[in-house]
Amino acid sequence: MGYLTTEQKSKPPITLSTLNKLKANGETFSCLTCYDASFAHAMQVADIDTILIGDSLGMVVQGQTSTLPVTVEDMVYHTKNVARANNHALIICDLPFMSYATLTDAIANSKAVMQAGANVVKIEGGAELAEIVSVLVKNGVPTCVHLGLTPQSVNVFGGYKVQGKTESQAEKLLKDCETVVNAGASILLLECVPSELAKKVTQTFNVPVIGIGAGVDCDGQVLVMHDMLGVYTRKPAKFVKDFLTAEENATKDITGAFKAYHKAVKERTFPTAEHSF
């Protein structure tokens, strides 16, 4: 996987201000999910800007059929493992299903993952999260709000489907973004929304917007690590690209895949229309 050079070891940590500056300059940033120390190390070698300890670990690590069984203890365990091995990327950690349904739980569970090494907590939903976002930021916890297809609500959606396709859905998503940004959200993450809508969100709000299946105009891009390494247990989504076997991965190894992904995101050559809605 490669070792860190002295230069890579001493690279300054990416912070929210770094992401805000990148957005202000029209530059993009890379994000990958990560769940353990070895891959976190390889991501530092490859200069990945932000890491998401996603509750997708329920599926790709634990073999569950959804993210719902994942616990706060699971998130704490994986966050500690990642944080030990990477001192460069900004670390975002998911609060799992029903762990922020009340303010008391949101505070206690954010404390647990922040003390494990997260820099930002990610929560799924819309305007209804405003109070939680505001209380967390007042207590020193920045939030990333995940909108669009929110996998913790798969049972409400009746499957993993593109969101924001109708005019009224698009208007609601914009309103939700406005409410959580006004409440103090530091990052928005859009999953499976039409590219034009994601572009509008990115241009409208002054916080970094990360996309997955949301087109090339977002400020940052995220993929699930296993997906971008071509490790699938089911048919990959349209927005997934296998960077392990991709032409631009000259070394055809894992660090090469991370480097090729980082470069493609920075140069906005990924995602293409083929990976977007």
Q: Which active-site residues does the annotation give?
A: 191
Question: Terminal CA-to-CA distance of the chain, rounded, Å?
Answer: 34
Smallest distance, ligand KIV to C-beta of residue 55, A: 5
Q: Which residue number, 183 or 189, has a Cβ lying nearer to ligand KIV?
A: 189
Residue 143 contacts residue 122 (beta carbons within 8 Å): yes
Find the helix or strand (DSSP H, E) in which 40 lies.
helix 37-45
CB of 3 to ligand KIV, least distance (A): 27
The token pair at 147 is 């909108």
Distance CA 128, CA 260 (A): 38
User: Measured from the CB of residue 53, what is the shortest distance to ligand KIV in angstroms?
Assistant: 8
Contact 39, 207 (CB under 8 A): no
Using omega within 30 degrees of 0 as the cis cutoff, is the peptide bond preceding 271 cis? Answer: yes
* Residue 53 near residue 78 (C-beta atoms within 8 A): yes
**Cβ closer to ligand KIV: 54 or 142?**
54
Whole-Å CA distances, 50 to 44, 47, 189, 224, 238? 10, 9, 13, 12, 22
Give the binding site for ligand KIV (CB under 6 A).
33, 52, 54-56, 94, 146, 189, 191, 212, 222, 224
CB-nearer residue toward ligand KIV: 24 or 98: 98
By Cβ distance, which residue is nearest to ligand KIV?
A: 54
CB of 9 to ligand KIV, least distance (A): 27
Closer of 235 and 252 to ligand KIV (Cβ)? 235
